[in-house]
Amino acid sequence: MLNRRDLLRSGALAGAALAVPSLAGCGSSSDALTFFFQAAPDEATVRMQIIEAFTTLYPEIKVQVQMSGPDPNQQILTYAAGGKCPDVVMQWESYSHMVELGILENLDSFLDADPAYAARLRADGEPALYEMFRYRGGQYVLPEQWAGIFLYYNRKLFEEAGVQPPPGRWEDAWTFEEFLAAARALTKRDSSGKATQWGFVDAWPVPRYSAAIFGMNNGGEWFVPPTDPQRTGIDGDEFIEGFQFYADLSGKYGVAPRSSDSEALPSIELFSQGKAAMVLTGHWQYSAMLAVSDLDFDVTVLPVGPHGHGAKSDIGTTGLAISATSPRKELAWEFVKFATGPEGQQAVAKSGLFVPALKSALHSEDFAKAHSKIRNLEVLTGGPSNSNPIPVTPNWARIDDAYHRAADHILRGAAPATYFKGDVTRHIEDLLRSSE
């Protein structure tokens, strides 16, 4: 759905493929369990550690891995068309399309047969993450991480500008006005008017989704209900106001670079080089920022608009599913249960590369140690429970294409956000009805 990994990491996949053994034929007829996933090199290392811990516990189960290419969903569809899908497959918010095609196994039968484990997940798991992967009465994926967005900020730049540090908890979120005032104070220009330092940049390569989060943080709705949506809320006044505020950060207020600025460095580089005070992105950038020795950074929450009911991120997540055609479903379940359960989640917490889906791992000492540079740790630990739901529909590709065209028209400054009203909304709702 939001495919942040596809968009952010395609350039790293060639290197990642060297980090783990390759699998000659997906859906091998051997006794080995096949596991398909996408990961950058450091993430692949963590996944291999989880696999090694699993095979130590279950030495009779061999696991072979398949690294994804730049388009993992298309790769899975190709495997499925050939009748050879991996036993365990990594999934994103786009999973409902796979369900409709009969590619993913309903995990409820395994959970029903393992009531003690199911009860532990219910007690320890973040409900919103599990609900996102529950589609038309079935649990098709178990979440392994939260991958929502938030703000990183440069502590040194804030201090030098005399700007008060931003809030450290979702419950204490700052307002749109407070966020804008900080961004203005932190934007610097030379005598010619050229920006030498930006107050805010967006490193999430889907600005139409960033703007939607701002719309929801102003009390608006994006799609209703989030799963199998029946209508869109993009024509609502609150959503439009929040979306417009995001667009105005570059167009009206000049505190962020325009997407058309060909001279600008990539947003994440602007931040890492101290040329931007705040950057919107996710935890997947944390390890890269740690590698910049002189970068004094922390994390903070997104701002809330005047009609909002508290600041939220997005329920971005990845999870693990079992192929419906797998001849090794029982073995696959043991692996999924391990990787998404307490043992695998603790390895996730210790690595510092992901935000765990289980609360026990999220609030563990290992997770805190892996983020010792972060003072506002509650931004991460509180993220999963403070997230806006996002749309889950098998027809998302067509719906998003229409939303993309309209959103980009607004973000380029060609029209105000009221452009969403009328024909745009009617067309999107026609697409929603066609997917019923």
Cα 428 to chain centroid distance, Å, stands at 23
Kind plus residue range of the DSSP H or E element containing 298:
strand 297-300
33 pLDDT more than 60: yes
Q: Is the dihedral of CA 216, 220, 225, 229 positive or negative?
A: negative
Task: Give the residue-averaged pLDDT of 309-338.
Answer: 95
pLDDT value at 17 more than 60: no
Determine the average pLDDT of the residues in 192-213. 96
Report the chain's mean pLDDT, rounded to a whole number.
91
pLDDT reported for residue 42 = 83
Residues above pLDDT 90, as percent of the chain:
85
CB 201 within 8 A of CB 154: no
Range name among 45-49, 98-102, 294-298, 414-418 with the lowest pLDDT average: 45-49
Averaged pLDDT, 55-77: 93
The answer to whether the CB of 377 falls within 8 A of the CB of 366 is no
For residue 149, what pLDDT is reported? 97
pLDDT category of residue 95 using cuts at 50, 70 and 90: very high
- pLDDT band per the 50, 70, 90 thresholds, residue 8: very low
Question: Is the pLDDT reported for residue 345 higher than 70?
Answer: yes
pLDDT recorded at residue 29: 47
Residue ranges in 86-236 assigned as alpha helix (H): 95-100, 108-113, 115-124, 127-132, 155-160, 176-185, 207-216
Structure tokens, 122: 């219910």
Q: Name the band, by pLDDT with cuts 50, 70 and 90, for residue 31.
A: confident
Token digits of residue 427: 């067309």
What are 277-308's pLDDT values in tens digits?
999 999 999 999 999 999 999 999 999 999 99
Tell whether the model's pLDDT for residue 25 goes beyond 90: no
Output the six-digit token pair for 172: 């204490």
Is the pLDDT at 28 greater than 50, yes or no? no
What strands, in cross-sheet order, belong to the sheet with 201-202?
201-202, 278-282, 149-154, 297-300
- Asked if residues 114 and 337 have their Cβ atoms less than 8 Å apart, the reply is yes
Higher pLDDT, residue 56 or 3: 56
- Global confidence as pTM: 0.91
Q: How many separate helices (H) and strands (E) can be counted in the chain? A: 21, 18
**224 has which bridge partners?**
231
Tokens of 54: 């699993």
Distances, alpha carbon 79 to alpha carbons 73, 129, 201, in Å:
10, 27, 39
Q: Which residue has the tokens 């910049």?
A: 292
- Long-range own/partner contacts, residues 251-256 (CB < 8 A, 24 or more apart): 251/413, 253/180, 253/183, 253/184, 254/187, 254/195, 255/180, 255/183, 255/184, 255/186, 255/187, 255/198, 255/199, 255/200, 256/183, 256/198, 256/199, 256/200, 256/201, 256/202
User: According to the model, what pLDDT value does residue 264 have?
Assistant: 64
Q: Determine the distance from the C-alpha atom of residue 280 to the mean position of all C-alpha atoms in its chain, rounded to a whole number.
A: 12
What percent of the chain shows pLDDT beyond 70?
92
Q: Are 296 and 369 in contact (CB under 8 A)?
A: no
Look at residue 261 in the predicted model and tell me its pLDDT. 67
Q: What is the pLDDT of residues 211-270, one digit of tens each?
A: 999 999 999 999 999 999 999 999 999 999 999 999 999 999 999 998 766 456 789 999
Least confident residue range of 153-157, 258-262, 420-424? 258-262
* 143 vs 22, residue with greater confidence: 143
Strand partners, 268: none
Instruction: Write the pLDDT tens digit of every residue in 156-178.
Output: 999 999 999 999 999 999 999 99
Please give the domain boundaries of the chain with CATH numbers for all domains.
Answer: 4-147+316-362 (3.40.190.10), 149-314+392-434 (3.40.190.10)
As to burial, measured by CB atoms within 10 angstroms (0-12 exposed, 13-18 middle, 19+ buried), residue 55 is middle
Distance, in Å, from the CA atom of 246 to the CA atom of 1, rounded to the nearest integer, reads 22
Please check the confidence at residue 333 and state whether its pLDDT lies above 90: yes
User: What's residue 265's pLDDT?
Assistant: 78
d(CA 170, CA 386): 7
CA 25 to chain centre: 30
Q: Using only C-alpha atoms, what is the Rg of the chain?
A: 22
